[in-house]
Structure 1
Amino acid sequence: MTDLQTEQWETYLAGYAEILAGVADTGRRLTRDELEERRLFGEQAAEAGHSLRSLVRLHLDATRTSWPGRGATVSGADATGTVLAAVAQAVDAFAEGYERAQRLAVRQEEAARREFIDDLLYGRSDLGRLAERAERFGLVLSHAHAVAVAQGPEAYDDTAPVTRVVESALISRFGDRRVLITTKNGQLICIAPGDQDEVLTFFAKQAYAATDGNRVAVGRPQSGAGGVVHSYEEALTTLELADRLGLEEPVVRAADMLVYPVLARDRQAMADLVLSVLGPLREARGGAEPLLRTLEVYFDAGCTAAEAARRLTLSVRALTYRLDRIHQLTGANASDPVHRYTLQTAVIGARLLGWPAQEI
């Protein structure tokens, strides 16, 4: 250890030998001021980056070399017990200050991380400055990134058990892959390089299991800092669309659902289509919903009557009757290729607009 290092370390022991001597002489305990001074030394040592283990050893070494001699008033076993109690007080106060500084540093790091996440996902802050800050958290924003969002039965934050479980699984599997796991608005989020789809796939699998089978959406890879925002918003939109469409898939990808935002872009045109094509279904006994559901399942089954009937727990004859009734009411035949496209688009529009439960 150099003279400079020795001098630096000895600053944390200032007054320590005098305290032990005073305790041995009077049998007193450490004063409030002495304890607070030890705490301050502990904070300074933590801020300087020293390990607590080394600092405790430093105190023990100093205790041995500074052990009060024959000048102490208190003697024998009483003196030993009194001095050891003082050592315990001093070291405990020092460690308390050290831990206090560590907790403050962690809170400051968490605050900086949260501010960065907010700026990144909301597209705030100067992009150049954002890119510099991103490197601190393992992201290189000059590369393309994709964002996956997992929703669950409850709101998650960065300290939630679900977050820690998923993050640990990804670290164990992939190590340092410049992947960021975080939370936003109660949802679990994974930001990964755009060319590492296996990371997002694994995240989706882990998040699905950890959130009790809730849905995960994956945005498309996008370049730059603004690309992270774009991919994140795509994932959010995809989650919303999947809910509105009643999709059963646990993992949905924005790349597979690009047609739906296009269909929903002109809401008035879509509403006109739905009412014009499917509006007559409201005249059926039981309303439009049962026949609308029949069409939805029929199209999902690839227009195979037997499979659609099985999914609806109907006989093929009952399904055929429903399709005939739809033909009678709307004038559109679901088995006709020309009519089928119009009917299927109208069914999708109805789900996007929440019709017939909501008036449009």
Structure 2
Amino acid sequence: MKKVLLLAPMSSVHERFNKVNINILKDLQCEIHIAANFEHGTNETIQHNLRYKKQIEYQGIVVHQMPFQRSSLIKNLAVIKICRELFKKEKFDMIHAHTETGGLITRIAMSSNSTTKYVFTPHGMSFYKGSSLKSWMLYYPIEKWICDKMVAVMAMNQEELEVLKKWNKNNERYIHGIGFDVNAIQKTIVNKNVKRAELGIPQESFLILSIGELNENKNHETIIRALAKIKAPNLYYLICGEGHLKSYLEDICNSYNLSNKIIFAGYRRDISEIVHIADLFAFASYHEGLPVSVMEAMAAGLPIVCSKIRGNIDLLEDGKGGYLCKPGDVDSFAEKLNLLIYKEEQRKKMARTNLENIQKFSKDVVYVETNQIYREILM
């Protein structure tokens, strides 16, 4: 029986992104191990993570609690020794590391004489077209160094695939994302009136939805400033996510007298329901790998106005399922949002396009792609 470790800093990565990988490894009759921090975050988050830990342990998966820290390389240096000892003790046949932090820690902890085969999924490299010179000078060599010793690196967008081809044509692979559960979204039944009332949204309002952490990258500020330019009556904006910019964004809303029209819903576990009560999805992020939130919106049949960046352009063709704008272009976002607010037939046409196009990113498609890669490595 082959022994495989799936490693990521936070348990949420496994819960959200590794479902298909776990199912494949089960079908291949592998002994599955998972390493992550299940004890990081708020009390509510930790309790949820521990429930997930029990759930996967019940499935026979071996869990390793690791003291990873979010977004802090210095604090994560202590994990290197723990990983090195775990790798040496268990002698895994394959280790699949996720995210830049997971990949870097794994790369440092590798043994030079190990027979373990290493796989890496970046989930969005930190350098990208349009990013700063500093990010290219810092992250480009780090990511290249990480990828150099991997037997396979899984790209989820074409921009990263082209970079990997330049680095090492022997280990680059392309998969259509994480294996998105399209049916889970499309089969979700929700009472629109009840859900809107729960969130404080009037029944007859036009609702624009965004999903993502309240941080600089997700760029909710651009959407808020764009909405300030739109004079449509009964327009509401719902933001699902939490983060350190909440007070800052609330101040912007106050400056435009939009506080009664913009709802900060916090972190939600009912996104599959919320996407069905919106009329349009807005997403102004500066960089992504392949954004799950956009896929959720597509699966729910929402037209989309989003930033013209890596990941988004893999999911959406401008003018087909929605519109693409430069990330910080407030006027462009305002123009496209305003256009779709008043063009119902155009929204319906874009909805049909998204419902069709999302199928290529489904878990069934990604299962086949990833299964082939795992078999090549393990068998």
The structure with more strand, counted as a fraction of residues: 2
- Is the TM value for this pair above 0.5? no
TM-score range, shorter chain: under 0.3
Bigger relative contact order (CA 8 A; separation at least 6)? 2
- Structure with higher Rg: it is 1
- TM-score (normalised: structure 2): 0.22
The structure with more helix, counted as a fraction of residues: 1
